[in-house]
């Protein structure tokens, strides 16, 4: 792993899931930074350094969708992969409409994440 490897930022409030995602993304050979909330991510000013953001949708405070809208409003084009445990079609539509490049249903497989990451990093 080197500084040249893409940096993936993970935003997830559930600590154990966050750790698991960090481990998985690292196993794929990427650099990883993780944040327990969208607010922490924004405060760390990691938007421009990240090649991709993976965020949970349901979080206290700003949701994953709020985060994407905020980035778009700021003119940050970093691709955002969203993750949710919910199955409601309305939520999926809302996520895609906000500009998510990919939506993962928990629990997801490594292959599904790899596909999403490939898609996001190719963009």
Residues binding another protein (CB under 8 A) = 14, 16-17, 19-21, 23-24, 26-28, 58-60, 85-86, 106-110, 113
- The minimum distance between CB 87 and another protein, in angstroms, equals 9
- The minimum distance between CB 23 and another protein, in angstroms, equals 4
Residue owning tokens 């497989």: 109
Nearer to another protein, 28 or 76 (CB): 28
Nearer to another protein, 39 or 76 (CB): 39
- The minimum distance between CB 100 and another protein, in angstroms, equals 18
């Amino acid at each position: 792993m080197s500084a040249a490897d893409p940096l993936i930022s993970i935003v997830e409030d559930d600590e154990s899931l966050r750790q698991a995602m960090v481990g998985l993304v690292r196993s794929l050979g990427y650099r990883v930074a993780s944040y327990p909330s969208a607010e922490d991510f924004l405060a760390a000013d990691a938007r421009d350094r990240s090649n991709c953001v993976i965020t949970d949708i349901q979080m206290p405070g700003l949701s994953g969708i709020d985060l994407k809208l905020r980035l778009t409003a700021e003119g940050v084009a970093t691709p955002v992969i969203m993750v949710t445990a919910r199955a409601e079609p309305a939520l999926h539509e809302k996520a895609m409409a906000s500009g998510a490049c990919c939506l993962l249903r928990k629990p997801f497989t490594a292959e599904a994440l790899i596909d999403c990451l490939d898609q996001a990093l190719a963009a």
